[in-house]
Amino acid sequence: NKIQYKNFQWHTYKTEHFEIVFENGLDEAAKFASTILEKAYIRQTEALHHELKTRIPVIIYKSHNSFEQTNVIPEIIEESMGGFTVVFKSRVVVPFMGSYREFRHVLQHELTHVFQYSLWIGEGIINPYQLLKMNKVPLWFIEGCAEYFGESPRNTHEMWMRDAIYNEKLIPITRLPEHGFAIYREGESIVNFIANRYGEEKLGEIYHNIGILSSFAEVVKKTLGISLEELDRLWRKSLKEKYWAICGTKKIIPYARRLTKHKEHIFNVSPVISPDGKEIAFLSDRGGYESLYLMSSITGEIKNRIIKGGRSDEFESMHLLDAKVTFSPDGKLIAFVTKSRGKDRLIITTKKGKVLKRYSLELDGISHPVWSYDGKYIAFSGLKDGKRDIYVLELAHSKVYRLTNDFYDDITPAFTEDGYIIFASDRDKDKLTKYGLYSLFKISQHGGVPVPVFEYRSTTLRDPVVFEHYIIFVADFEGVNNLYVYDILTGELSALTDILTGVFTPSISKDGKYLVASVYLEGGWDIFLIHNPLDRLSLI
């Protein structure tokens, strides 16, 4: 059994088709899950022409750190795993991370696997995994359907597909592997194509024909009336019609300088530029372990590895998939979050790797720390009992203050020079209909009522960076993440980038002359630097 660092307390909430088992404090998330699952049950029952015969257990953990301690399965849980479904007992196990939109996606994704296993076992197939060995059903179809019914985030799908098409890395249907991102992204694209061209009911027919015919090629021929090769040709043709015009006009930032080039590793993420613009701290999985590095912004040369991760219980994980690093105002210290012994800890270190402070806070998760201009505070997003809110740590007295306390998803704070905090949130008057649509809000670093910065909203709108009267942020207004700039004085919104794939976690120097960000391209993330970014704006 895995090490469990705490005593778990469980509660149960039953619906017609599900038994929701959840950690103490997740009452709101459990009720939300029951509503989403029952709606998804109706849709999938109709689409797949199949009903589940028993009530399905759904186990919800209050953070990914708790989720990784589960003994429902013996395997080690990776950070990239959003949830799983046990085949024979049809138990769904998921973490709640604060975002109801992402929670909905994971629940619907895993419910699809429940239907798959239930249907194929009902057809007399003892072990659904034998379908893979028998070449009856490819993994891209299994996961593609789960992403299709799970309604996966569109910007992630668009980013991956655009990059694969532009770089001619798209894999033919008949050669798709049994692992990797391709089976999810391409699989979802193929299933989407089938549903849009032939009707969603054809997915249900494919499911049932899998139990009858001897190969997936025969299943496609009987269900769609075409060969697997013809399906591949038609799918690729539809992608050309959709993406070729986009790929011809949107590429990499033409005026940016590339500082890293990933090879066997794929992550160079969360860059933060020092106040004087001379150095960049960032996270990377180079060398096989995720670690914190310091790089020259002038030459791109790696100066040193500040913290080596993955080799001790103090630095088990740096959370590469959703991390943030921050410099102190004088540029001498760096703060970041690491997982240690089942909890997130806030670490303050020198640029040489000497750890000065370790903050183990009574929270289920910590993310996106940012230093205040006066150096007295660090703000961050904290997860506690199903609520992700904005917190402030007063460094002199090691006191933590909670600025927001509600079920909205409050993330990625940034300080202003006059003592306010700008953060992203999906808060709205009616959270039941607007959850998952984010905007920027402003609150005093000492607390108060959050007020909207502007009226723009998007499914991804986050990572604000404040410079003078400008707010630079990430949003997917055009389908993938790009950088935008909002002028607080004039109310004007401008685009800073218009690229093919996606931009993440911007950071700007104190004088505003240099901006760094992580960009996804060629199957991985690399760091780019823009000189005089505010001279390159394009009004929207």
Convert the pLDDT of each residue in 103-113 to its tens digit: 999 999 999 99
Query: And the tokens for 403?
Result: 């600025």
What's the CA gap between 462 and 483, in Å, rounded? 10
Q: What is the 3-state secondary structure (H, E, C) of 36-93?
A: HHHHHHHHHHHHHCCCCCCCEEEEEECCHHHHCCCCCCCCCCCCCCCCEECCCCCCEE
CA angle 44–48–51, rounded 5-degree value: 70
Question: How many residues make up the chain in this entry?
Answer: 540
CB 138 within 8 A of CB 184: no
- Look at residue 484 and tell me whether its pLDDT is greater than 90: yes
For 277-302, what is each residue's pLDDT tens digit? 999 999 999 988 899 999 999 999 99
What's the CA gap between 279 and 323, in Å, rounded? 18
Q: For 9, what's the count of Cα atoms within 13 Å in the CB-facing half-sphere?
A: 5
Query: And the tokens for 89?
Result: 């007992």
Burial of 213 (0-12, 13-18, 19+ CB in 10 A): middle
Give the pLDDT confidence score for residue 291 in this predicted structure. Answer: 95
> What is the mean predicted confidence (pLDDT) over 165-177?
91
In the chain, the percentage of residues whose pLDDT exceeds 70 is 96
Question: What are the helix and strand counts (H, E) for the chain?
Answer: 11, 30
Least confident of 248-252, 260-264, 301-305, 359-363: 248-252
Give the pLDDT confidence score for residue 328 in this predicted structure. Answer: 98
Pick the more confident residue, 251 or 339: 339
Q: Identify the sign of the CA torsion 489, 493, 323, 69.
A: positive
CB 499 within 8 A of CB 485: no
- Look at residue 37 and tell me whether its pLDDT is greater than 70: yes
At 433, the pLDDT band (50, 70, 90 cuts) reads low
Query: And the tokens for 176?
Result: 């798709």
CB 37 within 8 A of CB 74: no
CB 516 within 8 A of CB 506: yes
CB 315 within 8 A of CB 309: yes
- What is the Cα gyration radius of the chain? 24
Give the pLDDT confidence score for residue 124 in this predicted structure. Answer: 46
pTM of the model: 0.93
* Strand 92-95 relative to strand 56-61, pairing: parallel
Give the pLDDT confidence score for residue 125 in this predicted structure. Answer: 46
Least confident of 114-123, 238-247, 368-377: 114-123
Cα dihedral 363, 366, 369, 374 in deg (nearest 10): 0
* Strand 56-61 relative to strand 18-23, pairing: parallel
Q: What is the mean pLDDT of the chain?
A: 92
CA angle 408–414–419, rounded 5-degree value: 105
Identify the DSSP state of 78.
P
- Determine the straight-line distance between the first and last CA of the chain, rounded to whole angstroms: 55
- Look at residue 208 and tell me whether its pLDDT is greater than 90: no
What's the CA gap between 239 and 236, in Å, rounded? 5
- Look at residue 129 and tell me whether its pLDDT is greater than 60: no
- Look at residue 135 and tell me whether its pLDDT is greater than 90: no
At 126, the pLDDT band (50, 70, 90 cuts) reads very low
At 44, the pLDDT band (50, 70, 90 cuts) reads very high
- Look at residue 133 and tell me whether its pLDDT is greater than 60: no
- Look at residue 399 and tell me whether its pLDDT is greater than 90: yes
* Strand 410-415 relative to strand 420-425, pairing: antiparallel
> What is the mean predicted confidence (pLDDT) over 429-442?
81
Give the pLDDT confidence score for residue 430 in this predicted structure. Answer: 64
> What is the mean predicted confidence (pLDDT) over 205-227?
90
Residue owning tokens 């979050």? 337
